[in-house]
Structure 1
Amino acid sequence: MSAAAMSASALERHLAQPAGSAVFGPAELDGLPDPVRRYLRTAIGPGTPLATAAALRMRGTIKLGRWLPFRATELLAPQRGFRWSARVAGVVSGSDSYAAGQGRMDWRLLGVLPVMRADGPDVARSAAGRAAGEACWVPTALLPRFGTRWSAVDERHIRARTTIDGTSCDVDYTLDEQARPTRIVLDRWGDPDGTGAWGWHPFGFEVTAHATFGGLTVPAAGRAGWFVGTDRRERGEFFRVTLTALRPVT
């Protein structure tokens, strides 16, 4: 069943599959490059259940012509999809979702008047990239046992390669001295200029704070947008966020 065909409750049941009995230990890191091992040891506390999904709460501002405040919840399962539900400026509400290879955007003014509705292959491919980029919020889901293939460029730069419903994603992490991510970048399918011409563009999250929730140390604040690493970065930025809660699904 596609994300578009699922009810909100059915989609959340699909995403919120509980973790098994396994917990994080040194054997999970066998064979990984040293910088990747340092990152995962920093991100996941010993004995943490190996959750593949998490429930998040966040607040921030989003650029819709101008910067507007939002509050949102998200159920995120990087290998299966996500449902991000938000209220913007108190008057626009809706959700972005992805599951079973299908993506959907559904936003309304005052809960009634359609503001944006979109689906189809382009939306789905872009949403798969979003799920891969947001996997930093569920680092247990990035362990090799769940299909992530890791490599290291040097001590501060590592790469996670995942495949989500046939869409391959390479996500590059820049680490600080404590092996925490400071920048997360990938080539993501999108139409950031709104021209109708979709293609691959650099997309990234620049991290400004970290926090620990339920044994997971994750990026807790930052800004995201298109054209990261280019002279169009400021124009492409559209999302500034602070996590207020994160609960691994166990």
Structure 2
Amino acid sequence: MDGPVFPPPPRSARPVRREWDALSSLPPSTEQFDPEQVADLPSAAQQWLTHALEPGVPLARAVHLTMRGHIKLGSWRPFRAAQILAPGVGFVWAATARVAGLPILGYDRYTDGRGEMNWKLGGLVPVMAAATTDVDTSAAGRLASEFIFVPTTFRSATWHEAGTGSALATWRLGRHTETVCLELAGNGRLGTIHLDRWGNPNGEPFGRYPFGVDIEAESSFGGITIPSRFRAGWWWGTNRWPEGEFFRAEISAAVFR
């Protein structure tokens, strides 16, 4: 079973083509979703997964996402991006944003247990480059939270109850352990996901800070329903959310493998 073929990396991710190709070529699962598979999970997780997954849909391991939106780089800037995402394994997010009409190209990634950010003006002049243990830990938190875009990987997490309408999913990613909280918005639809994520928002010392994603809309792609319009940022759930929010996006296409 070969599964769908993902597109090659965009220009902004060519420096990490090996990592992109490795995530793109993970062997597809031969299993299909059966609601009985979630019978022992917390109630909120059951509601979400039976809402998000049609019976019989393949239990995909990875997704190729196409998105656009706005990212806060001083002020809000438009961007377009493509992403390869394999929960529990890694991701490469490659984007082009525009500042004063000039393109900034680059990528964020977490592969082989290492995180990296690499961005250049016009694809030539370095703007930001970081590959430290702090970046590793922050990127692991991002990978854990983004499994909501590949809900078919639910069995790779450890689940716990977290109160009415919510559930905890713990991911072990090499030396990192990350726990995310999912909260429903009704009828099985996912409303928010949040965690204490490692980072240094707005120049704060590195540590764990509230990070969250508010989901505004969802769409179905091949029998799998995922968030398709959302906002993300630091200081989620606090009065600092307006300053911490830095990402607004809409997914236009999702191909699962």
Q: State if a TM-score over 0.5 links the two structures.
A: yes
* Partner residue in 2 for 1:222: 230
The one of 121, 124, 129 equivalent to 1:112 is 124
Deviation at 1:10, TM superposition (A): 1.6
Deviations 1:87-129 (Å, cap 9, x if unpaired)? 0015100100111111111100011100000001000100000
| Within-5 A mapping of 1:59-208 | 59-89=68-98, 91-142=103-154, 144=155, 146=156, 148-195=157-204, 197-208=205-216
- SS of residue in 2 equivalent to 1:235: helix
Deviations 1:191-246 (Å, cap 9, x if unpaired)? 00224x20000100001101111211111101100000111000000000000111
- SS of residue in 2 equivalent to 1:127: helix
Deviation at 1:33, TM superposition (A): 2.4
| Within-5 A mapping of 1:13-92 | 13-16=21-24, 17-89=26-98, 91-92=103-104
> Higher mean Cα deviation, 233-242 or 174-183?
174-183
Q: TM-score, normalised by structure 2?
A: 0.90
Query: Are the counterparts in 1 of residues 158 and 169 from structure 2 also a CA contact under 8 Å?
Result: yes
Query: Are the counterparts in 2 of residues 18 and 51 from structure 1 also a CA contact under 8 Å?
Result: no
1:235 to 2:243 alignment: yes
> Higher mean Cα deviation, 162-171 or 7-16?
7-16
In 1: Cα distance, 2:251 partner to 2:215 partner: 12
> Higher mean Cα deviation, 235-244 or 39-48?
39-48
Q: Which runs of 4+ in 1 moved over 3 A?
A: none
Aligned-CA RMSD value: 1.4
Query: Are the counterparts in 2 of residues 183 and 207 from structure 1 also a CA contact under 8 Å?
Result: yes
In 2: Cα distance, 1:61 partner to 1:236 partner: 14
- SS of residue in 2 equivalent to 1:229: coil
- SS of residue in 2 equivalent to 1:49: coil
In 1: Cα distance, 2:119 partner to 2:15 partner: 16
Query: Are the counterparts in 2 of residues 15 and 75 from structure 1 also a CA contact under 8 Å?
Result: yes
Q: TM-score, normalised by structure 1?
A: 0.92
Task: Mark the runs of 5 or more structure 1 residues left unpaired by the alignment.
Answer: 1-5
Deviations 1:133-156 (Å, cap 9, x if unpaired)? 1110000112x2x2x111222331
Q: 2:109 is aligned with what amino acid?
A: S
Task: Mark the runs of 5 or more structure 2 residues left unpaired by the alignment.
Answer: 1-13
In 2: Cα distance, 1:121 partner to 1:85 partner: 21
Deviations 1:40-61 (Å, cap 9, x if unpaired)? 1111111111111100000000
Deviations 1:15-74 (Å, cap 9, x if unpaired)? 121322111013321322222211111111111111111000000000000100000000
Query: Are the counterparts in 1 of residues 82 and 93 from structure 2 also a CA contact under 8 Å?
Result: yes
Q: 1:56 is aligned with what amino acid?
A: L
In 2: Cα distance, 1:220 partner to 1:23 partner: 23
Q: 1:235 is aligned with what amino acid?
A: E
> Higher mean Cα deviation, 175-184 or 18-27?
18-27
Query: Are the counterparts in 1 of residues 110 and 136 from structure 2 also a CA contact under 8 Å?
Result: yes
In 2: Cα distance, 1:180 partner to 1:32 partner: 16
Deviation at 1:166, TM superposition (A): 2.0
Q: 1:18 is aligned with what amino acid?
A: P
Deviation at 1:7, TM superposition (A): 5.2
Query: Are the counterparts in 1 of residues 43 and 165 from structure 2 also a CA contact under 8 Å?
Result: no
Report sequence identity in percent: 40
